Structures are given as structure tokens and as C-alpha cells.
Amino acid sequence: MTEQERIARILGRLDEAYGTDSRTYLEYGSAWQLLVATILSAQCTDARVNLVTKDLFRKYDSLEKLAAARQEELEQDIYTTGFYHHKAKNIIACAQALLERHGGEVPSDIESLTALPGVGRKTANVVRGNVYGVPSIVVDTHVGRIARRLGLSANDDPVKVEFDLMEKIPEDHWILINLHLIALGRSICKSQRPDCEACFLKEECPSRGKASGSGKGAGKAGKASAKAGKKAGNASAKASARKKSPAE
Ligand code: SF4
């Protein structure tokens, strides 16, 4: 089986297991609401964020109201999502920056997005993928860990993992791969005790029966596979990746 065939099988099995709906689990009614929901989702479950934003977006039903919010009050409103002090501070500053720099619109380019307070590449890519349909790969802890275990990346740095995946994964799976690997990471390929025997990717996974922890410093099998994949490459995906480089 070539590396390209192995990756195609992995993607096919993920599609079968989790479907091909690439919408985020976060609920939102506008671009700025998704931005806020994604900021709140750091170290918090999507289900909890959806509970909190249901009331939050009713109370602050415009960017202007959010920009003028009192920090202590907003902290109480988002308390249950954790890290409420930083999140409240960033959300207010982000709302103000959107009004001041972008006329209340959420920009679509990665530089402008990541220049906003509290917005990193992960948040920016969630917004780009879901709001603007720009194929983007969001790398969180699940995605990074499982990419390493599957031999799709030998890197620990999330930005490098993002680029490794852009090289290997066809563009039509860039948004989906995040949702799929999160679903796999929550249910089967958990950080500490991956259930390899129950895993539908065990035939294609070089870390089967060997994985534990974050997968950082991926084992020999994973690294060799990642290396092989790099060589084999996917010409069309590579071309797309170059087109969508971080400097875009
Ligand atoms: S076989 Fe094991 S390590 Fe590989 S993806 Fe499945 S659960 Fe994770």
C-alpha cells in the first residue's frame, strides 16, 4: 500500500464513521459570534460553550454592546467556560478592535485575524473554514496527537503539523480532518489510553498498540511513515498548500 493509498483509506474510514458535514459543533449566528464562541472554547467543551453563548448572545446582541461590556460582568457571564478573566478581557478587546480596525466586520485573512486580541491560528482557521469556506486545517491537541500517531506528522509544533497535514491531505478534507480527529480523540484515540483494538484505523496506523500520551516525539514507526509520506507527497495537495501558505 502506498502512502497515498494509506491516507485515502484513513480519510475514507473517517468519513464513514463521522460523516462529511464539516460544520463546527459551536453554535453561532454571525461571524463575530463564532469568533467569540471559539475564544471561549479554549480549554472548554463545545457543549458548555453552546450553553453559555445561548444567553450571552441574547444579552450582548451586537458587537457594540460586547465592546462596551464591563469586564467584571462579562467574567460572570462566561465564568463556567474557565479562564474567564483572560477570555473576558480578550473578547472585549477583540470586539473593540473589530469595530475600530474593520468597521465591525470579521476579516477573512489570517494576518488580520491573528492580529486580533485573543485570536491565534486555531481560532482564525475555525472562522476562515466555517464562515468563509476557506479550506483550513485547525490543529488542536487531538489533531496534533493523532496526526503524529498516524504518522502524518513527526512535528510537535501545531503550525508545523498544520503544514504537514496540508501537504498530505486533499483540500476537500482540510476542514473535516479537524472535526474527525477530535471525534476520534474523544472516543477512541484518547491521550492516555488509546483503544487501538476497537479503532477502525488500526490497519493503517503505525502506532497501533504502541501509543500513549501526546504522541510527541512520535515513535519510530510514526516518524518513518511521516517521512515516507513526505516523499510520496500528494502533488495536488502540495500545490494547494503552497497557494494557501500562512503568508496568504
Ligand atoms: S490504532 Fe490506536 S494509536 Fe492508532 S489511531 Fe487508532 S487508537 Fe489511535
Question: Which fold, 31-131?
Answer: Endonuclease III; domain 1 (1.10.340)
Buried b (16+ CB within 10 A) or exposed e, 94-129: bbbbbbeeeeeebbeebebbbebebbebbbbbbbbb
* Domain residue ranges in the chain: 31-131, 137-242
CB-CB contact of 44 with 38 (8 Å): no
Q: Which of 9, 14, 146, 180 to mutate to test the pocket of ligand 1 (most atoms within 8 A of CB)?
A: 146
In this structure, the residue with its CA closest to atom 2 of ligand 1 is 196
Per-residue pLDDT of the chain (248 residues; tens, 9 = 90+): 899 999 999 999 999 999 998 788 899 999 999 999 999 998 898 999 999 999 999 999 999 999 999 999 999 999 999 999 999 999 999 999 999 999 999 999 999 999 999 999 889 988 998 899 888 888 989 999 999 999 999 999 999 999 999 999 999 999 889 889 999 999 999 999 999 999 999 999 999 998 776 556 554 445 555 555 444 444 333 333 333 332 22
- Pocket around ligand 1 at a 6 A CB cut-off: 146, 149-150, 188-189, 194-196, 199, 201-202, 205, 207-208, 211
CATH number belonging to domain 137-242: 1.10.1670.10
pTM for the full predicted model: 0.71
Sign of CA dihedral 48, 96, 132, 8: negative
Q: At what angle do helices 158-168 and 141-149 cross, to 10 degrees?
A: 60
- Which pLDDT score, from 0 to 100, does residue 133 have? 86
Q: Which is the closest atom of ligand 1 to the Cα of 196?
A: 2
| H/E run at residue 105 | none
- The single residue of 21, 61, 87, 140 carrying the catalytic annotation is 140
Report DSSP state, residue 172. G
Catalytic one of 15, 21, 55, 122: 122
- Catalytic, 140? Answer yes
Return the ligand 1 atom nearest residue 195 CA.
7
Q: What span, in angstroms and rounded, lies between the C-alpha atoms of 135 and 48?
A: 26
**pLDDT value at residue 24:** 84
pLDDT on residue 92: 98
